[in-house]
Structure 1
């Protein structure tokens, strides 16, 4: 039966949302002999096939606007859930409960009630999709954000909700359950409170500060560190040991070398406005909604902005190494996606991508009559090595060059001595490199898109430890042959290339990284376009 709107069951449960709500008008009684309600539902749902299909299956019965206990419970559960939308960083403009409740109050016919019914269903689907799999579609923002959130079918989602014994429990189940999401949400609320209280105070007006110095800039640094929670109460005017330790903590949280000297990068990080950090956390929450993975099993986690690759077992980091990622140019950036690592190739050959062959090597080879890039073999369509002396270099250009380039296995190979394969359309993988000096830099965006590892052998040992008692011996027996050999992983390992400029570490502390490819700025702008705002701050 439909809700006789003169009753007031809804009001005590939704006092916070409907303070001062006047008694609504009487609605007609639900009667399928006069299906005005059903007709209104069908008309209102005509542009949404998922909703229309759902109501057809339940013969246009009310889900929210009836007077049974189940319908009342569903309505209360929905409105309570959307009351937390802002806390999750969802666009509050999508959840105008004041207008909705005013419409409910003004219902005077079955047709009015049918329209409200469908509006509530649309509200449910908007919330369910946004909270569970995100507000945005990543690949529409940047082609290298190739993650595909597993958006549930609306009809199936509604059917599941209708079958739930406890509507409130069902609504809670839509919220991401990862510990990281919960920590990010807590940080969001904390930063909002600090922002409302005035933020972290005046910035530090200095290019760099060092231990032993004193003066107004050191006082500003001290005060900023206290406000940010890195330093206890202090009246010192000198860059003392306590300030140095606090600066080191900041540097650790920013991915800098923790030398305790407040250099330009450290000063810039300390001066970053609280609103900017809040944006990063909100973006990280959205990204976490895109990624629904099983964190109870082993997986590989490559955070591009952190320049690290990790093996995680049961939520614990069991191996970590520095990485080099793709250069900042659009065609060399490392993409974001998830796949499954199936095997490693020991003593790999490098099959040079076509874009690199003709864009970087071919001009020099043509100019030198084939003398340059002598470390690369020419490979014809049948897979045979072609002698360079047999090639008429003057006859070819980037458009008609008929050969592939390949570097055979060896210590000077661009892939080093091992690569780790999770076959994907980007032809991106993790691998060794002979260019070891790049790992000493803080910013490490130098590759053509693949991920280079500082400790590839140790990474291989950690992977193989799951299937052999002698992972090091197993690996080196193959390596010592000098021959390209595949070692399969008996249990393939989910591998996630992610992009997080805000994340928590094992200590629960918030970390921030540079938006190296500018993708988070794009995500934030898209969130703003969708209606996300920063409370009390112009977005």
Structure 2
């Protein structure tokens, strides 16, 4: 049976023994009038164990085996070092501790590993200990370690285990420490500790659906409760995506917004947590991936011209022009110089033009042939991407649709336009939109409020209580998994 590390046990045993001896000597020397009742042995042991004066904070917490030492210190300081999980007069866990241990054991239901929180060690606390000193030391050690585990578990449930940008383990800030301590204190005061404790989780629609569907899956197959048994591949995939969803904690799930899931090739319109519209999409190729971001659709344009991005112009079109200057006219493009004046491509010595010296802008005229299709939706971002129609409608029938240069091509774009106009009270403009498309006359529609758009990369999600898994088309799971499951 696993135990606390020997150095932790030794320190706490020494504290308990010396504390007991000093108390005994003092009582013998001052027999006579009644003295004030001393502090309970367990509270004294916790106070002494967490005293950082002799060794310093870092060394004290390391010797005690605490990974969230400052948070543990704050938790017990606020309760005057009274034990929260152990009985003061007998060995063993109390009722709240047994609930807490059951919760840690079920960490896989939340995409987390019980081993991260020393569950097997904590659950091995003996039911009875024969010597007072050993009992006090052991109880104090287990008490501190359980609090440490619960504070870290709460933080991971709320914010994730990794920093989303660096993929390094999250370090508790003072606000997060206070939040974890307050949450644990409130859970202890609640008649139902487990429910109160779990209230720290994100409340977004996507997170709740995935977590609940995964929890139901594990409860149907108890043998796969541990991440290293059963279907470990499914656990890893769900764990990574629950982590990603925790990174989105600060994003409100109320109101209207567009959610793009790159891996699912899907754009959904969400209203107060419910999907009201769904579109198939085409996303960037692995070598020109669609980025994840947050922005707001503020304008859309019908019958647009396409200004060819410089990278496409020099990498894909320049070789075509060097072979045949008629390539532009054949595909409804025209050439502009730096002043915006049209240039005859037949009068350019294309063999002397290189990607480094390319001085032109290429545009494509509006119409059914245009790469942007009949309508384009703009939102501010540093990547120069947008959502747009496409003349290549057959792509939407393909199961794998990572085919663009990074922009998002959308099926049934007029339905998205209608949704946007209705939100703005401009639905009367719909006939004008169809007319401008038919006549290839460019029209611009500004949105007063705009629509938030979130572009994400989730390789699994829950729909109707079933988990759907998607191909990791950009191989992004690999980097997150390497950090998340690092021993």
TM-score scaled to structure 1, two decimals?
A: 0.64
SS of corresponding position for 1:340: strand
1:173 to 175, 185, 199: 199
Residues 27 and 137 from structure 1, CA distance in 2 versus in 1: closer, same or farther, beyond 3 angstroms? closer
Q: Distance in 2 between matches of 1:378 and 1:398?
A: 16
Q: How does 1:184-333 map to 2 (within 5 A)?
A: 184-192=210-218, 275-292=232-249, 293-327=251-285, 329=286, 331-333=287-289
Kindly state the Cα deviation for residue 451 of structure 1 after the two structures are TM-superposed.
1.2
Indicate the residue corresponding to 2:416 in structure 1.
459
2:295 to 317, 320, 339: 339
SS of corresponding position for 1:449: coil
Indicate the residue corresponding to 1:269 in structure 2.
none
Indicate the residue corresponding to 2:109 in structure 1.
87
Residues 103 and 404 from structure 1, CA distance in 2 versus in 1: closer, same or farther, beyond 3 angstroms? farther
1:357 to 303, 307, 313: 313
Q: Distance in 1 between matches of 2:413 and 2:200?
A: 39
Indicate the residue corresponding to 2:390 in structure 1.
433
- Over aligned residue pairs, what C-alpha RMSD do you find? 4.6
SS of corresponding position for 2:278: strand
Q: Deviation string for 1:100-137 (max 9, x for gaps)?
A: 688999999xx999999997786456434421232334
Kindly state the Cα deviation for residue 432 of structure 1 after the two structures are TM-superposed.
0.4
Q: How does 1:358-507 map to 2 (within 5 A)?
A: 358-368=314-324, 370-374=325-329, 375-389=332-346, 391-467=348-424, 468-476=426-434, 479=437, 482-505=440-463, 507=464
CA contact (8 A) 1:343 1:488 kept: yes
Indicate the residue corresponding to 1:11 in structure 2.
none
CA contact (8 A) 2:43 2:81 kept: no
CA contact (8 A) 1:192 1:278 kept: no
Kindly state the Cα deviation for residue 465 of structure 1 after the two structures are TM-superposed.
0.9
CA contact (8 A) 1:433 1:452 kept: yes
Q: Distance in 2 between matches of 1:153 and 1:473?
A: 55
Relative to its length, the structure with more helix (as a share) is: 2
Structure 2, unaligned runs of 5 or more: 1-14, 18-39, 88-93, 191-195
Q: Distance in 2 between matches of 1:317 and 1:35?
A: 51
| Larger CA Rg, structure 1 vs 2 | 2
- Is it true that 1:131 corresponds to 2:139 in the alignment? no
Structure 1, unaligned runs of 5 or more: 7-23, 142-147, 200-272, 532-539
Q: Distance in 1 between matches of 2:466 and 2:47?
A: 59
Q: Deviation string for 1:34-93 (max 9, x for gaps)?
A: 99445556344899xx9899899x7x97357801779999x9697676454333121333
CA contact (8 A) 2:109 2:218 kept: no
Q: Distance in 2 between matches of 1:37 and 1:80?
A: 31
Q: Distance in 2 between matches of 1:115 and 1:154?
A: 25
